[in-house]
Structure formats: C-alpha cells, structure tokens
Amino acid sequence: MSEVSFERDIRPLFRDEDIEEMLFALDLSSYHEVRQHAEEIHSRLADQTMPCDGPWPDADVERFHSWIEAGMAE
C-alpha cells in the first residue's frame, strides 16, 4: 500500500460543510493547518465529538491516525 497522503487520502474525508463549520478555528482544507492540529483532530474524531453531525466510520478515523503515524505526508 502506498503512503497515506493529505491530498489523496485525508483532505477528501472533510466535507465542504465540515470545512465551513470549522473555519472559526482552523481550515480543514489546509494541509498546514490540519498537520498543525492533527493530534487534536484525531482525538476529536476518535471520541466522536467531530464532526458535530455524527462520527466518522472507524476505517476513516484509522486512516487519519495512519497518516499521523506515517509522518503526515502532503
């Protein structure tokens, strides 16, 4: 399997409405901002408090975690 990348694997997980809803705090479409806040984002995804309208599937949360563990490639 190829390395998990933000553009290919992570960015598509954030819906347009998620990005808009979170703009007050950070831009989920921005590699640099998501990288900067990755641990906090993962924590919120894992405890199902993000996104606010329901949890991500476990496979998507794991994909996000794998991206962090692999060094957060752009």
What's the pTM value of the predicted model, to 2 decimals? 0.93
Q: Give the domain ranges of the chain.
A: 6-69
Tell me the per-residue pLDDT of 17-74, one tens digit each, with 9 for 90 and over.
999 999 999 999 999 999 999 999 999 999 999 998 999 999 999 999 999 999 999 9
Torsion over CA: 19, 25, 31, 37 (sign) = negative
Residue 34: its pLDDT value, please?
98
Helix axes of 38-46 and 58-69: crossing angle, nearest 10 degrees = 160
